[in-house]
Amino acid sequence: MKAEFSIGRCGWSAALALLLTACAPSYYLTVRPSASAGEGAEDHQMLLAELDSVEMGLSFAHQRTTELLFAAEVRNGSSRPILVDPAQFYCQPSITPAGASAPGGAYFPARVPAIDPELKLRTLADQLSTADRKATGVSAWEWLTIASDLTADLSAPKRKETPKEEYERKVQYDRSLQNFDYSRDQHAQTADRTARELELWQHQMLRRYTLQPGELMRGYIVFPSLNQTARLHISTPVGPHTFTFTFDQKPVKH
């Protein structure tokens, strides 16, 4: 049995294609398994580790704007349930000085946590609700504009409004309504983008889940990109164990 949000191997390419719709930076990061993982390691090679019948696999997928995506697989071959919680995953970035003999180089002082998918989903849901409301509703300022024009219509005879003044007022009123319509359209586009992003985080990212014996789950783990880093030590606590994977990265201009 598989977790509900796992995706098959054929789904990785489709999911990644959707993820790549975000704007790309002016450079990209080449991220590949560290040389210590084996000679000739390919960029998207999946690193594998196993402890007490719990298997973890991790490979670099893509850089998306200011995020690094890693494809992960977790298989529970043990006889007990294990908790998989990406919010507990973290990266320890380091810089390896030229000619340094010490493996791993000098660590930065802080851990960089993976982006918590559950928190991200709540944030996206709030953003979608706000965008939907603004895309379909009428703002207080728009109601005020409508009321002001109606009042001007009723008071026009008393104010002895000239045809020219009425024409200019109506032109300004129509322009205001067009601006309100344009604003709603922009919010509708924002809502559409947010809805797609929400769906991706719901179904394609690795989510918090208690993996039962014999189950397999797949999904993306997301870290903020670290441009000045030469090496990434990614730690993934799964159940009672912590798996660590090392990747080297290099920024390359387009």
Residues 157 and 82 grouped into a single domain: no
Domain count along the chain: 2
CB neighbour class for 211 (10 Å; exposed up to 12, middle 13-18, buried from 19):
buried
Domain of residue 61 covers 9-115+208-253
In a domain, 121, yes or no: no
Residues 26 and 109 grouped into a single domain: yes
In a domain, 97, yes or no: yes
Residues 134 and 27 grouped into a single domain: no
In a domain, 2, yes or no: no
Task: CATH number of the domain at 235, please.
Answer: 2.60.40
pLDDT one digit per residue (tens) for the chain, 254 residues: 444 333 344 444 444 444 444 545 566 678 888 855 444 445 568 899 999 999 999 999 988 888 999 999 999 999 999 999 999 999 998 875 444 444 444 445 478 999 999 999 999 999 999 999 989 888 888 888 888 878 877 787 778 888 888 888 888 888 888 888 888 899 999 999 999 999 999 999 999 999 999 999 999 999 998 776 788 999 999 988 999 999 998 877 76
Q: What is the pTM of this model?
A: 0.72
* DSSP H/E element including 56: strand 54-64
Per-residue pLDDT reduced to its tens digit, 144-160 = 888 887 887 778 777 88
